[in-house]
Amino acid sequence: MNFRKWASVMIILALTCACTPAFSQVRHQKPALIRDTDKAEGKEEAEASKEKEFSPILAEQSVKIGDYYLKKKNFDAAIERYIEALQYQPGRVDAYEGLGKTYEKMGETLKAQEIYRDFIKKNPDSPKLADFRAKLAKLEKK
């Protein structure tokens, strides 16, 4: 289903729901206050501590979104997506490359060096090892 068809279906659904009596009754109720106690008390979020399941498909999606954000110069969002990709699939080369490149573009060469070193340490048999060593050497010269 293309976007236009999907959008028109969603508009029709929204209009039909708005016209039903049940919807109009719910619409006038006050929303209940929801309190996330961990977040309110300053504790770390539970989701951040959970490890994500191995999923190459979700990792690939995260890398593509990270690449998009990098092109748009939204560096913080790109970093989040590359890290998410590494959580889904540790050792993913393009996620490490994107993360290092993003830190370089932000001017944070120490973090970029750390990323490259981490890749070299965790993936000693990778065919991209020489590329990462070259990138690290280039940053260390600066």
Q: pLDDT tens track of the chain, all 142 residues?
A: 566 766 666 676 666 555 555 544 545 555 555 555 555 455 555 455 467 899 999 999 999 999 999 999 999 999 999 999 999 999 999 999 999 999 999 999 999 999 999 999 999 999 999 999 999 999 998 7
Q: State how far the Cα of 32 lies from the Cα of 44, in Å rounded to an integer.
A: 24
Structural domains of the chain, ranges and CATH numbers in brackets: 3-46 (no CATH), 52-141 (1.25.40.10)
Which two three-digit tokens encode residue 97?
A: 């490359």
What DSSP letter does each residue of 3-22 carry, written as one string? HHHHHHHHHHHHHHHHHSHH
0.75 cut: is pTM over it?
no
Which of 138, 125, 56 is closest to 94 using CA atoms? Answer: 56
